[in-house]
Chain A
Amino acid sequence: MPDGKPNFTGLWEALGTANWDIRDHSAQTGPFIQLGATGAMPAGQGIVEGGEIPYTPEAAAQQKENLKNRMKLDPEIKCYMPGIPRANYMPFPFQITQSQRDIAFAYEYATSNRVVNMGKFKEGAVDSWMGTSNGHWEGDTLVVDVSSLNGNSWFDRSGNFQTEDTHVVERFKLADADHMNYEATIDDKTIYTRPWKISTVIYRRKEKNAQLNEFKCVPFTEELIYGDLKKK
């Protein structure tokens, strides 16, 4: 970039299975048995540094409860906005548009998006699904402070969760033109005993015709959400 900053503009996508569980996990039957092998959960290395999320005992019990009821509770199933950091490692691409000022993230899943304010720090006016993002550069690293999250988002399909007190600090750093290292430090004294960190690699989509497509998923969920209210 003319201003000497690395250029993140383009289409990116994480690989791996963190959207199933951000911790280490074995392959297993999926939540919806009719889908057979196509709906099964693949094995994968977790993205949590040190392996475990430092939940308080109550929060650890809550996560297990979430997992048990995930068909009802996982916001992804209902096409709710994924929140941060989950949006970055879902199995969908996202487009970064990096200007000389602000930086836009457009996520394919649920047409969710956010604009990272690179100017003077702005407090979130109100809690929201995608939070309020304030960014700055530390050398070549884009550091994004995410606050005012509404606490309804999960980290994955396994019930790992956050609250409205969760604070996320993300670090995006190019490893080369087509790979970036993504890290996020997550802090929330109400459910974790200490701050913890996730880290993964996000890849630039290189296919000649790769582009952000549209995944407006509301129509895929209406039967599930409102079906019992339909006229018989």
Chain B
Amino acid sequence: MRHLVCISALGVMAAMAFGQAPSGETKPAPATKSWNQPKTPWGDPDLQGTWTGDDCIGTPLQRPVKFGDRLYLTEQELAEREANREKTEHSDLEQVVAPGQAATIGGPEHWMERSRRPCKQTSLIVDPRDGRLPDILPEAKTRHVGAGAIVSDPKADSWEDFDYYIRCITRGVVGSILPVIYGNGQQIVQGKGFVTILQEMVHEARVIPLDGRPHAGPNIRSFMGDARGHWEGNTLVVETTNFVGNTTGVNGNGGGTPTSDALTLTERYTRTGPNEMRYELTVDDPKTFVRPYKVLLPLTEEPGYRNYEYACHEGNYGMFNSLSGARAKEKKAAAAAAAAKN
């Protein structure tokens, strides 16, 4: 329910204070002064809540070349980003589709989730130093990439021409965390021996055992992988392996070059304040990238923000319409060709 999420988000925007900046690239985040990491009754650091990466919506995964090795915006650049953010906030409140006008394929602006404060980073990738994806191996470049949401006239011979997100299967682990236009909620629920992370889009539930058990056997493969967690101080470290290869990539919504079955993801969740979390991710896929790389972004908890049921496949009219539209076009073209012959 993107409408409801956004309306509640707008309501609280004004009341929100600015979040804490992420610290240096690789050093652990210092805790906010006069804030102590709360613990669960059984003594684990308590990370529970519904978190989003909304503040970095629009911040590119890869750093624009003009920033070079610089991770953080200058005061002036930050002020510009804040001005843009405020402008968007205002325009969202206005009616964007005038009576009698057609909505665009993107839907009205007020469907979108927005940042509440400007993201301070120039890119989400923090290592390599230039914030760019490492080179992709030649074999990986040959992998099939299905058409995503922004392709306006996709090849539609079969559902297999579309990506896993459009097919309502998954956005993969990374695609489910990187902030996109909406549906960025991550609800963390902890039990004794487990952390479960529930993601609104596409109704994922990652159950992460903390008891030190080995990974599932190598013949058990899945889209969301096999996650194992442990605590390093107050940081939850999650290592995920056993991916089925060639499905989702590691960009927003699971786009980009699909990763391989050799992918290992290492995530570090560190709460840095009552409503702030530092999220660090290392992507290591020796069959796809020439070297591992690292992503960093702040997650925040916003009052009133909650996950809704994202029943995607159950109402995937987009797939019906894309396929039946393509067949109708072919039929029309065949009829025109037959008429021209006669």
Contact = CB atoms under 8 A, between A and B. Distances in A.
Nearest to B202: A111
Contacts of A214: 222-224
Nearest to B221: A214
A128 B310 CA distance: 9
Contacts of B213: 209
Given A81-B311, A229-B323, A97 B191 contact: yes
A129 interface: yes
Contacts of A222: 159, 167
B216 A211 contact: yes
Contact of B323 (A80, A95, A128, A230): A230
A1 B160 CA distance: 47
A115 B48 CA distance: 13
Interface string A1-26: 11100010100000000000000000
Contacts of B224: 214
B112 to A, nearest CB: 18
Interface stretch (A33-41, A102-110, A165-173, A187-195): A102-110
Contacts of B41: 1-3, 100
A216 B192 contact: no
Contacts of A79: 313
B193 A9 contact: yes
A130 interface: yes
A219 B169 contact: yes
Given A7-B192, A97-B190, A97-B194, A226 B313 contact: no
B275 interface: no
Interface in A68-107: 79-81, 95-104, 106
A129 B207 contact: no
Contact of A99 (B170, B190, B204, B311): B190
A81 B187 contact: no
Given A216-B223, A219-B169, 12 more contacts: A1-B41, A79-B313, A104-B189, A113-B198, A126-B1, A130-B309, A152-B314, A209-B213, A218-B167, A222-B159, A229-B327, A231-B157
Interface of A: 1-3, 7, 9, 79-81, 95-104, 106, 111-113, 115, 125-126, 128-130, 152, 209, 211-214, 216, 218-219, 222, 226, 229-231
18 contacts: A2-B41, A81-B309, A81-B314, A95-B205, A95-B207, A97-B194, A97-B196, A99-B48, A104-B191, A104-B198, A104-B205, A106-B207, A111-B204, A125-B4, A211-B207, A213-B216, A216-B223, A231-B330
Question: 5 shortest A-B CB distances, which residue pairs?
Answer: A9-B191, A106-B205, A214-B222, A229-B323, A2-B41
